[in-house]
Amino acid sequence: MAASDGKEYFRMISDIREELSMIFSVISQQEEVWREMNTILKHLFPGKVEPYMTERMSATTEYIQKLKRQIDGLDKDAERVQVSIPRILDLKRSCAGTKESHWTAVMDAPVFGLAVAIIISTPLSFVMARLAVPRDSFFMAEDLKRRLLQWMTGTSKIVSPIITAVGAVSAYRFFKESTRWCPAPVSWWMQKLHELRHNNAPRAEKAGRGSKEPDVGSLDGADVTARK
């Protein structure tokens, strides 16, 4: 239930309760008139009122009481619904806020993984760029430095892709488990492609028909002479 729907329902229930209140007041006034009439008849004609009239008066009084009970029950039901509408809207807002927080947390994890991969791969890339310079330009008189340089070059070339791949796979698996996301199968993509082709074919045919130039004949009147 959206906020606009809740506002509309609240207004409708308020109108219903006002109408029930007016009906209840009218019935209460009619009940007072009916009781006064019964009292006046008993005082004016003591012992002369027919039994069937007395039964009808009692039945009418009971019917009025029944109507009042029904109206009171409807008003209580409407009151319960009217009170529950703000609660439902609050629950909707809370649920939306929870979902938004969940999605924020889910999206933060891949961003954090990507940041870690960038933090690790950036120095390695810098080292690889530095090591791409010819080794003759460095002052390496000792064999230990030369071996260390070769080891760092080989290690950086192997470790950097591995760390990036592990970070990407971990972020993908975390996102999939957190959101229960399932990639669409190949058949679904083929079906969408087939529908797209069928939808575009009539448009292309219609455009081809509409772009056909009308045959107005030659400008020198040769066609008119041939027809004659």
pLDDT tens-place string over residues 67-119: 889 999 998 888 888 888 888 888 888 888 888 877 777 777 777 777 777 77
Is there a single domain that holds both residue 72 and residue 161? no
Q: Quick count: other Cβ atoms within 10 Å of Cβ 20?
A: 19
Q: Which residues of 30-66 are buried (b: 16+ CB within 10 A; e: fewer)?
A: ebeeeeeebeeeeeeeeeeeeeeeeeebeeeeeebee
**How far is 75 from 72, CA to CA, in rounded Å?**
5
Is there a single domain that holds both residue 139 and residue 54? no
What own/partner pairs with CB < 8 Å and gap ≥ 24 does 173-181 have? 174/106, 174/109, 174/110, 174/113, 175/106, 175/109, 175/110, 178/102, 178/105, 178/106, 178/109, 179/103, 179/106
Helix axes 51-131, 143-179, angle to 10 degrees: 170
Examine residue 124 and state whether it is found in any structural domain, yes or no. yes
- In tens, the pLDDT along 179-219 reads 666 666 777 778 778 777 777 655 555 545 544 444 444 44
Is there a single domain that holds both residue 112 and residue 87? no
Do 121 and 164 meet the contact criterion of CB atoms below 8 Å apart?
yes
Structure confidence at residue 131 (pLDDT) = 59
**How far is 202 from 208, CA to CA, in rounded Å?**
10
Is there a single domain that holds both residue 15 and residue 60? yes
Residue 142 lies in domain: 106-205
Total domains, the chain: 2
Among 76, 101, 126, the domain boundary falls at: 101
Structure confidence at residue 142 (pLDDT) = 56
Examine residue 74 and state whether it is found in any structural domain, yes or no. yes
Examine residue 219 and state whether it is found in any structural domain, yes or no. no
Structure confidence at residue 98 (pLDDT) = 83
**Cβ-proximal residues to 46 (8 Å cutoff; 6+ apart), any chain:** none
Is there a single domain that holds both residue 92 and residue 140? no
Is there a single domain that holds both residue 86 and residue 147? no
Examine residue 211 and state whether it is found in any structural domain, yes or no. no
**How far is 184 from 186, CA to CA, in rounded Å?**
7
- Continuous segment of H or E residues that includes residue 77: helix 51-131
**Least confident residue range of 3-12, 37-46, 204-213:** 204-213
Is there a single domain that holds both residue 179 and residue 138? yes
Is there a single domain that holds both residue 117 and residue 199? yes
Structure confidence at residue 105 (pLDDT) = 73
Is there a single domain that holds both residue 50 and residue 79? yes
Structure confidence at residue 225 (pLDDT) = 44
Structure confidence at residue 223 (pLDDT) = 46
Is there a single domain that holds both residue 78 and residue 121? no
Structure confidence at residue 184 (pLDDT) = 63
Is there a single domain that holds both residue 88 and residue 142? no
- In tens, the pLDDT along 17-40 reads 889 889 999 988 888 888 888 777
Model confidence at 129, in pLDDT bands (50, 70, 90)?
A: low
Residue 52's CATH number = 1.10.287
**In the predicted model, what is the mean pLDDT of residues 36-52?**
74
- In tens, the pLDDT along 147-187 reads 666 676 667 667 777 777 777 777 777 767 766 666 667 77
Q: Quick count: other Cβ atoms within 10 Å of Cβ 175?
A: 15
Examine residue 48 and state whether it is found in any structural domain, yes or no. yes
- In tens, the pLDDT along 131-149 reads 555 555 544 445 666 666 6
Examine residue 218 and state whether it is found in any structural domain, yes or no. no
> Does the structure show a pLDDT above 70 at 16?
yes
pTM across the whole model: 0.41
Examine residue 25 and state whether it is found in any structural domain, yes or no. yes
> Does the structure show a pLDDT above 80 at 3?
no
Examine residue 62 and state whether it is found in any structural domain, yes or no. yes
Is there a single domain that holds both residue 200 and residue 155? yes
